[in-house]
Each structure stands twice: as structure tokens, then as C-alpha cells.
Amino acid sequence: MNGSRESDIVRVSEGLREGKIDHITIESPLSIQIIHENIQYSMGLTMRTPGNDDSLVIGFLYSEGIIEASTDIQEINSTENEICIVLKKSVEFNPSLHTRQDLTTSACGVCGKESLSNLEKLERTKLNNNFQLDSNQVSCNLKSMMSNQPLFKITGGSHAAIAFNQEGGIIASAEDVGRHNALDKLIGMMLVKELIPANEAIIHLSGRASYELVQKSIRAGFPILASVGASSTMAVELAREFNLSLISFLRTDSMVIHSAPNRIR
């Protein structure tokens, strides 16, 4: 399937060796370029799973505060390993605020940023405090999430970001070898459909909740973020500052709520 590749492997189990064909998640570079007022800027090179590259970059630009809507983009040109976004002249773009080093790995989002203070300029978003979910619904979402990761099902090597509405319906979903990429893809998909800010939705992540994943979620307007893994100290601090309901260690029968527990009944 798209996003994976067959590979010869040797499986060893209980002392027995067996040659087999396995599926491995594809990781390949994507060069991101921006053209603004006829000047081209390099946004660096990110490692991602091919597929939905447009959504990935649109979500990334929104999360970085470079665009406010997909209509801020005049044109998108892409090849296999490069994508070039032409911004409309009306967009205020300051390249010095968004400088990264040449390579951003699939495991890293903030990596390459010259200054963490740039991220701390997150607009004081007012998250929907009236959006509430029953804890049983959050657990049901997890079950649905586990059955809606086709790439992970065959590779065991991808992360997922899935947005659910209040009734447990899937709004959008994305998978990638990188956690940050999966979330950017999801945000990009929803931005194009004019579903951002996502003030009536919960975002579920398959891995840990780091500072930047929380930042991206707040920027997109999600009132609740639920992760299967742990949360970092800075993620918890940021969630509390912006009144995001942050859930960690989500299981079908338990969860840990770090902030704004009033949204979970």
C-alpha cells in the first residue's frame, strides 16, 4: 500500500529462522520551499512518509503561524521529494522567525529551530470550554483509532493523528513515520476543508505528547488532546497555560488527565 515497501527479512522465533517478506514504513526526505514576493526561501528538509505532502506542508505552515488559511497559498508545486509553496503577496512572512537547520528528522519537530522563543509567541487562543466528552466516549474513540490505522496495521511503524467529533465520528485522520508529520497532515486536511479552528473536536495521538504537539493542537483550536503515551513537563505546562484538556496514557479502561479536567465527564 502507499506509505510502505516490501522487504526481505529473517524472522527468528523460539530458535527457528524463517525467511519472509515484510512491509516497512517508508521514510524519505522532503525539501520545503517557500516563494514570497518572488523570493525563494528554504524551510529545510524533513523526513516523512510520502503521501498527503500538500496537507503536511499546509499544516506545517499553519502551525508555524505563516498562514491563517489555505487561501493564503497562491500555488503549490511538487515533485517526488520537493514541494514549493507560493504565498500570496498579502501574507506577512518574516523568514528570520522560521529559520531551521537543513534537516528535521521524523522524530523531531522543534529540532532545527534557532529559537524556542519563536514558538512561545503562540497567539492566546481561547479554547472552547463548553465542549465536553464522557470518559467512555474517549475510550471508545481509542478503540476506533486502533482499527483505523491501515499503515500501522501492516508495518507496525507509523504514528497516527485522528480527530473525532462529539459523537465519536472520525472527522479526519493521518499517518506518518513521524508524530509531528502525522499531526501536520491532519491539520492541513482540516484547514483545506475549513474545519479549523477545531473547537468541537478531540484530537487523538498514537504516541507521546510533546511540547510542540500540544502547541500545534492549541493553534488548531482543539479543546482536548488525548495521547496513548506520556506527556512531557513542557507539554503539561503549555496545556495548563492555554486551558487545553491534556490526556495521557489513554487506555480502554483508564486515562490520566493533566489539565482542564472539567471537559471530561
Same domain assignment for residues 71 and 108: yes
Considering the domain architecture, whether residues 38 and 141 belong to the same structural domain is answered as: no
Average pLDDT over residues 240-255: 97
**Do 106 and 192 have their domain in common?**
no
d(Cα 222, Cα 217) in Å, to the nearest integer?
6
Residue 112's pLDDT is 54
For residue 106, being part of any structural domain is answered with: yes
Q: Are strands 103-104 and 39-48 parallel, antiparallel or unpaired?
A: parallel
The DSSP string of 101-169 is -SEE-TT-SSTT-S-GGGGGG-------TT--B-HHHHHHHHHHHHTS-HHHHHHS--EEEEEE-TTS-
Last residue of a domain, one of 81, 114, 147: 114
Overall number of domains in the chain:
2
What digits encode the pLDDT tens for the residues 148-179?
Answer: 999 999 999 999 999 999 999 999 999 999 99
Q: Give me the mean pLDDT over the 91-100 stretch.
A: 82
| 155 shares a domain with 93 | no
Range(s) of the domain holding residue 41: 28-114
Q: What is the mean pLDDT of residues 36-57?
A: 95
Query: What CATH number has the domain bearing residue 58?
Result: 3.10.20.10
Q: Which residues, other chains included, contact 248 with Cβ-Cβ below 8 Å and sequence gap of 6+?
A: 209, 227, 229, 230, 231, 255, 256, 258
Helix (H, G, I), strand (E, B) or coil at 49: coil
Q: Percentage of the chain with pLDDT > 70?
A: 90
Question: Does 211 map to a domain?
Answer: yes
* pLDDT tens string 104-151: 655 565 455 555 544 545 666 789 999 999 999 999 999 999 999 999
Residues 73 and 150 in one domain: no
Q: Which of 33-37, 101-105, 146-150 has the lowest mean pLDDT?
A: 101-105
Distance of CA 38 to the CA centre of its chain: 30
pLDDT, residue 115, reads 52
- The answer to whether residues 37 and 105 belong to one domain is yes
Return mean pLDDT, the chain.
92
Same domain, 150 and 222: yes
Residue 98: predicted pLDDT: 75
**Within this chain, do residues 32 and 141 fall inside the same structural domain, yes or no?**
no
Structural domain contains residue 109: yes
Domain assignment of residue 120, yes or no: no
Domain assignment present for 2: no
**CATH number of the CATH domain containing 244:** 3.40.140.10
Stretch 63-73: mean pLDDT: 95
Judged against a pLDDT cut of 80, whether residue 94 lies above it is answered with yes
Q: Are residues 145 and 50 in the same domain?
A: no
Active-site residues: which are they?
108
Whole-structure pTM value:
0.92
Last residue of a domain, one of 54, 84, 114: 114
Looking at the fold, whether 98 and 41 belong to one and the same domain comes out as yes
pLDDT of 118 reads 46
